[in-house]
Amino acid sequence: MLFVCFRGKSMKEKLKHLRPVMPAYNKTDVHPSTFILIGIPGLEAAHIWISIPFCVGYLLALLGNCSLLFIIKTDSSLHEPMYLFLCMLAVADLIVCTTAVPKLLSIFWFHDREIHFEACLIQVFLIHSCSTMESGFFLAMAFDRYVAICNPLRHSAILTHAVTWGMGLAVVLRGTALLSPHPFLLRWLPYCRTNVLSHTYCEFMALIKIACAETRVLRAYSLAVAFLTGGVDFLLIICSYVLILHTVFHLPSKDARLKTLGTCGSHVCVILVSYTPAFFSFLTHRFGHHVAAHVHIFVANIYLLVPPMVNPVIYGVRTKKIRDRFLKFFSASKPLN
């Protein structure tokens, strides 16, 4: 703030004419039309090499999830709750990786670092809401395993097609309702410090950090949403597996116990692959102030890409029905000699 005074006048007159002069206000400095994504800070020289595994992983994710959706859709014997939840998970995986990875590759290959403000907010909503939906589908799949093992005679009566699709719709509505405020909250914030994001995609906490306003309430809201979705889902999944293990260890024979646990193997592997980088990324963003930026951002990108790439492989290898359908499909496509 500057003050203007006048010479050649009495002190009283000087004080009378003393008035504040505010600096010029530029609205575009507060709400920039674009943000600049710099990629992985500290590893700019290696961007072209890092892009290779990301590109291969993205192509594998597209191929694997689309193949999974096609096989489950065309094989009526796979129209069971577990495989329907798997289809929902595959769609969410495709949305998450397709929202983030193409922009990442354009940054690495073409130095296309600009992203429009509105596109950035859409990216925030899609990535966070679909990640929340993925967590909900994991919980639904855990509930399916619980009913199939702890109450097998009533499995088909409890998890009907209507109940299965209803659970899927509830997961989608929960993710949409809890994450819809995020882009609106971010739109209201002023960004007068910088429009440069040290990231490969627009992320809620990354935008919060460059806002020049008080953001404690928004941080608390984000933390509450994360706990009410991923945190609660993870606790309920643990509870379901405690009950499953309690039932399994009361089975009469070792072979029966191993066979029953084998039906849960794919689900457990997928949960570990998804939740491990998710929790690391979440905790380092909020509490890991001493973690190197490139480590955090690299793990955040692994979280968006590796689960969509690995999930179809895990279910394709470990689930006999899907594996047999894969082999049947590819053997039928071979030309006859």
Q: What is the mean pLDDT of the chain?
A: 85
What 124-128 contacts at long range (C-beta under 8 Å, 24+ apart), as own/partner pairs, is 124/182, 124/183, 124/186, 124/202, 124/203, 124/204, 124/207, 125/179, 125/180, 125/182, 125/183, 126/95, 126/96, 126/99, 127/96, 127/99, 127/100, 127/201, 127/202, 127/203, 127/304, 128/179, 128/182, 128/204
Joined together, the tokens standing for residue 247 give 């039932």
Q: Could you tell me which of 86, 67, 93, 69 has the C-alpha nearest to residue 141?
A: 86
pLDDT at 186: 94
pLDDT (tens digit, 9 = 90+) per residue, 31-73?
889 999 999 988 888 899 999 999 999 999 999 999 999 999 9
Supply 144's token pair: 């399916």
Closest CA relative to residue 186, chosen from 169, 165, 170, 209: 209
Distances (CA, A) of 96 to 52, 219, 249, 301, 326: 19, 22, 38, 11, 25
23-27, 180-184, 300-304: range with lowest mean pLDDT = 23-27
Q: Report pLDDT for 200.
A: 94
Q: How far apart are CA 193 and CA 190, in angstroms?
A: 9
Q: How far apart are CA 262 and CA 148, in angstroms?
A: 13
Q: What is the mean pLDDT of residues 106-123?
A: 95
Higher-confidence position of 191 and 262: 191
Residue 185 has pLDDT above 50, yes or no: yes
- Residue 332, pLDDT score: 64
Give the Cα separation of 321 and 323 in Å (integer).
6
Percent of the chain whose predicted confidence (pLDDT) is above 70? 88
pLDDT tens readout for residues 262-279: 778 888 888 888 888 888
- Provide mean pLDDT across the span 16-44: 67
Q: What pLDDT score was predicted for residue 335?
A: 54
What pLDDT does residue 6 have? 42
| Least confident stretch, 7-21, 87-101, 207-221, 244-258 | 7-21
Interval 189-202 mean pLDDT: 91
Give the count of beta carbons closer than 10 Å to the beta carbon of residue 92: 26
Query: How many other CB atoms are found less than 10 A from the CB of residue 217?
Result: 9
For residue 310, pLDDT over 50 is answered with yes
Tokens for 108?
Answer: 């690495």
pLDDT in tens, 226-257: 889 999 999 999 999 999 999 998 888 888 88
Express each pLDDT in 204-216 by its tens digit: 988 998 999 899 9
pLDDT of residue 125: 97
- For residue 25, give the 3-state DSSP assignment: coil
Beta carbons within 8 Å of 322's beta carbon, 6+ residues apart: 68, 71, 72, 78, 83, 315, 316
Portion of the chain with pLDDT greater than 90, in percent: 58
DSSP letter for 78, please.
Answer: G
Q: How far apart are CA 225 and CA 182, in angstroms?
A: 10
Range with the poorest average pLDDT among 77-86, 136-145, 202-211, 291-300: 291-300
Q: Nearest CA to 329 among 56, 66, 91, 82?
A: 66
pLDDT of residue 260: 80
What's the pTM value of the predicted model, to 2 decimals? Answer: 0.85
pLDDT at 25 over 60: no
Q: 120-146: per-residue pLDDT in tens?
A: 999 999 999 999 999 999 999 999 999
Query: Which tops the pLDDT comparison, 162 or 25?
Result: 162
